[in-house]
Structure 1
Amino acid sequence: MTQDHLETTLFGEPPPEDSRRSRRQRQRRGGKGRRLLTLLLAVVLVGGATTMAFTLLKPVVSSLVGGGDSGGGEDFPGPGEGDVSVTVKPGDSGESIATTLKTAGVVKTRTAYLEASGADPAASSRIQAGTYALRKGMKAVDAFTILSDPANRQGPRLTIPEGLWASEIIPRLSKATGVPVADYEAALQNPAELGLPAEAKGKVEGYLFPSSYEFDKSTPAASQLKQMIALTLTELKKAGVDPADYTRILTVASIVEGEVNGDADRAKVARVIENRLDDPNGPTVGMLQMDSTIHYIEQERGRAGTSNEARNSDSPYNTYRVKGLPPGPINNPGAASIEAAAHPADGPWFYFVAVNPSTGETKFAVTQAEHDRNVQEFNKWCSENRDKC
């Protein structure tokens, strides 16, 4: 077979005229075709080598990227066995959680967990810091389901009741979490970093919101205090309080908290406070005369009344001798008292007294004579409960 016929067979050229010029043209076309064929063969060879390399190297790449996963998204069949506690720390990302689970033997690969969490972003966003009870050898989706339900957290739950002093709250936090009291005291030296507003003048009293918390030893003291302060600020905003009035409202709210047992009376007690403050020439000549402020001075609980000696204290918190509000809150009030202080009830009352401190029954009065009759009821209760007065 001639060269011309070979080129015709390969490239489909029609039989050319037998001339030197035609042969040169055919040779040029044949050169281009051969170069194209060579290029196509090279692409095929390189592509095949790339595919083979990817296949061979994929497990190595997955291991490097997946934090030690040697099987990509391989998963345990579940349900798992034994018990293992896994702690999700504040700020942990999905990647961090995946690593923790794989290290603990809960899931077979990080990838399996990440695929489970990535399939449900809404549930992923519900994962909270805390300790969870899981098993070794779980299916990744089962482990994810447990973590995404806050009800499964097993961290210590601490409840701070309304009306406690800061001096009572700090030891409670320390006892429940294991974080030393010294850590809280050190954190309080940097009030701005805790989110305490300038209006507070560096004093945390009144800003530690009473609620239930899930703090543990892994939660720094500063983070705990910051969360409590943030909740107080949230309640003040919900009540529509101007930032410039935060401390004033908290001071009124703390007195309400210290004086009242029943929610129904809070707004009325707040009105008594405002009425006394608004009328410096009124029946109490501008003094609040609240026993709760005396209890704060003495840092003593358990009694309904106060002694003559205590009411003669020179403390600026002694509302029996000093007109106006005390320098700041006298405890840490809850949401109901904050709302009452921000929105007092309408009424002419200047007096109130808890005629039965055990039940919280409180009576309000406009005149001194009416109030005196109510005080007689209180004195009768005291005579029957001497250990509480």
Structure 2
Amino acid sequence: MSDHEPYGVDHGIHDDASIVPGHGPADAHSHTRRGGSRRGRRRSGCLPVLVVLAVLVVGAVLAVRTVDVSNPFASDAADFAGPGSGSVVFTVAGGDSISVMARNLEALGVVASAEAYVEAADADDASRGIREGVYRLKKKMKAAQVVDVLVGGRTRGTSFTFTPGKTVEEVLALLVKDTGITRKQYDAVLADPQELGLPPEADGSAEGYLSPGSFVFFPDDDAATILSTMVARTVETLDEVDLAGAADRLGYSEHDLMTIASLVEAEGSLLDETGKAKIARVVYNRLADPTAETIGRLQMDATINYARGEKVAVPSQAQIDEVATSPYNTYTMAGLPPGPIATPSRDAIQAAIKPVKGPWFYYVTVDLDSGKTKFATTYDDFLALKAELRDYCATKSDRC
């Protein structure tokens, strides 16, 4: 990975007998015998000395240049004593040269100088063992220690990517599988909302608050660090979109808005931002008018799946009846379920706090492959959309 190779330079300085005269005094005496002037003798006597001095000066310059060229970075490059302190996340990207890594490490305050890291990495070709990835380092480390950490793969992170729409159970199953931390350890953290960093509106439950997205976790990260990192990103997102302000404006609690966002995500994960905002409008329309045909019930399949702990594309009537008394059964219970049923994406949160205007009370995803969804205002129009879905299922029975 190194782009720093020593230059091939001859360090020797060779004497040349034809340049350094060995019989200068004899020459001077002969000039005197031949009647040369004193001035001429002086010129003749100084020339060899000047030539010698010129050679010595040139030799000295060459010697200096030889050292500089063979080792562009001075041997006394600034370096920290180590072992360092704090925590710095450092990424080695594919194709990064040693000099690029050196500059990045210096910019982060990990090493005192890029030169010190290059020298350490070039020693015994140590840099050949450095792999791309994300590493946890410290500030003010000795350059050789940094190389040891990168070559040994110590504190090398593992990347995790969680798609939106997952439940806490699904997230934990993935973490237990890939981190080596037990479910019991994760459950202990989930039981302590304060350690988890949950906001007050979460009401003590992490459901909906384990942020989706990409994360890098390190071997020394424990269950509390991992889960609190995911919660912290959700809190950051909610601050950015001003969930509290939206709750005041819409007349719902922050907890309600997160619940709505999770419903939007679970029901419309394949839709764009506008499609999600239309699903949010259906939710608000049904909640606002309990005298409408839907009598205040949301009738969402995703809530049935959550209550049953199993995801199916279209729950049967028997499956709906199976959880008839569950507070998450929105076919039998009016209003919102007790809380979120999945982790919402940022788009779903935006849809919940900024629903589009519209008269819709119904929607049907008529193509389960593409997520194509159509919206309706009346029950009769809704039945027509259900017939369209039945036609789709007749040819794609494996999807329904």
Q: Tell me if TM exceeds 0.5.
A: yes
Which of 282, 285, 298 pairs up with 1:288? 298
Verify the 8 A CA contact 1:207 1:232 in the aligned structure 2.
yes
User: What is the CA deviation profile of residues 40-69 of structure 1, one whole-angstrom value per residue up to 9, with x for unaligned ones?
Assistant: xxxxxxxxxxxxxxxxxxxxxxxxx9469x
Which of 243, 249, 255 pairs up with 2:257? 249
* Residue aligning to 1:262: 271
Q: Partner amino acid for 1:183?
A: Q
Q: 1:248 is paired with a residue of what secondary structure? A: helix
User: What is the CA deviation profile of residues 120-175 of structure 1, one whole-angstrom value per residue up to 9, with x for unaligned ones?
Assistant: xxxxxxxxxxx74589xxxxxxxxxxxxxxxxx95211100010111010121222
Question: Aligned partners of 1:194 and 1:355: how far apart in 2?
Answer: 40
* Residue aligning to 2:180: 178
Question: Aligned partners of 2:199 and 2:264: how far apart in 1?
Answer: 22
Deviation at 1:222, TM superposition (A): 0.8
Give 1:78-157 correspondences, 5 Å limit.
79-80=122-123, 81-82=125-126, 83=129, 89=136, 93-95=138-140, 98-99=141-142, 101-103=143-145, 106=148, 132-133=150-151, 155-157=157-159
Which of 249, 260, 277 pairs up with 2:287? 277
Task: Classify 1:102/1:367 alpha carbon distance in 2 versus 1 (closer, same or farther; 3 Å).
Answer: same
Deviation at 1:386, TM superposition (A): 1.9
* Residue aligning to 1:298: 308
Task: Classify 1:187/1:376 alpha carbon distance in 2 versus 1 (closer, same or farther; 3 Å).
Answer: same
Question: Aligned partners of 2:386 and 2:227: how far apart in 1?
Answer: 40
Q: CA RMSD in A?
A: 2.9
Q: Partner amino acid for 1:179?
A: I
Q: Unaligned 5+ residue runs, structure 1? A: 1-64, 107-130, 136-152
Task: Classify 1:368/1:105 alpha carbon distance in 2 versus 1 (closer, same or farther; 3 Å).
Answer: closer
Question: Aligned partners of 1:87 and 1:236: how far apart in 2?
Answer: 27
Question: Aligned partners of 1:78 and 1:253: how far apart in 2?
Answer: 50
How many residue pairs align between the two structures?
277
* Residue aligning to 2:59: none
Q: Partner amino acid for 1:349?
A: W
TM value normalised by structure 2? 0.63
Deviation at 1:292, TM superposition (A): 0.4
Verify the 8 A CA contact 2:121 2:144 in the aligned structure 1.
no
Question: Aligned partners of 1:333 and 1:266: how far apart in 2?
Answer: 11
* Residue aligning to 2:393: 382
User: What is the CA deviation profile of residues 61-91 of structure 1, one whole-angstrom value per residue up to 9, with x for unaligned ones?
Assistant: xxxx9469xxx999537524132579854xx
| Residue 331 (str. 1) matches residue 339 (str. 2) | no
Verify the 8 A CA contact 2:157 2:219 in the aligned structure 1.
no
Verify the 8 A CA contact 1:179 1:217 in the aligned structure 2.
no
* Residue aligning to 2:232: 230
Verify the 8 A CA contact 2:266 2:302 in the aligned structure 1.
yes
TM value normalised by structure 1? 0.65
Question: Aligned partners of 1:169 and 1:242: how far apart in 2?
Answer: 26
Which of 172, 182, 193 pairs up with 1:191? 193
Which sits farther off after the overlay, 318-327 or 235-244?
235-244
Verify the 8 A CA contact 2:120 2:144 in the aligned structure 1.
no
Verify the 8 A CA contact 1:268 1:347 in the aligned structure 2.
yes
User: What is the CA deviation profile of residues 78-114 of structure 1, one whole-angstrom value per residue up to 9, with x for unaligned ones?
Assistant: 524132579854xx6413xx15x544765xxxxxxxx
Q: 1:169 is paired with a residue of what secondary structure? A: helix
Give 1:204-223 correspondences, 5 Å limit.
204-223=206-225
User: What is the CA deviation profile of residues 330-350 of structure 1, one whole-angstrom value per residue up to 9, with x for unaligned ones?
Assistant: 111111101101111110100
Deviation at 1:178, TM superposition (A): 2.3
Verify the 8 A CA contact 2:368 2:399 in the aligned structure 1.
no
* Residue aligning to 1:309: 318
Verify the 8 A CA contact 1:205 1:329 in the aligned structure 2.
yes
Task: Classify 1:155/1:67 alpha carbon distance in 2 versus 1 (closer, same or farther; 3 Å).
Answer: closer
Question: Aligned partners of 2:372 and 2:391: how far apart in 1?
Answer: 14
Verify the 8 A CA contact 1:194 1:225 in the aligned structure 2.
yes
| Residue 367 (str. 1) matches residue 378 (str. 2) | yes
Question: Aligned partners of 1:333 and 1:248: how far apart in 2?
Answer: 13
Q: Partner amino acid for 2:363?
A: F
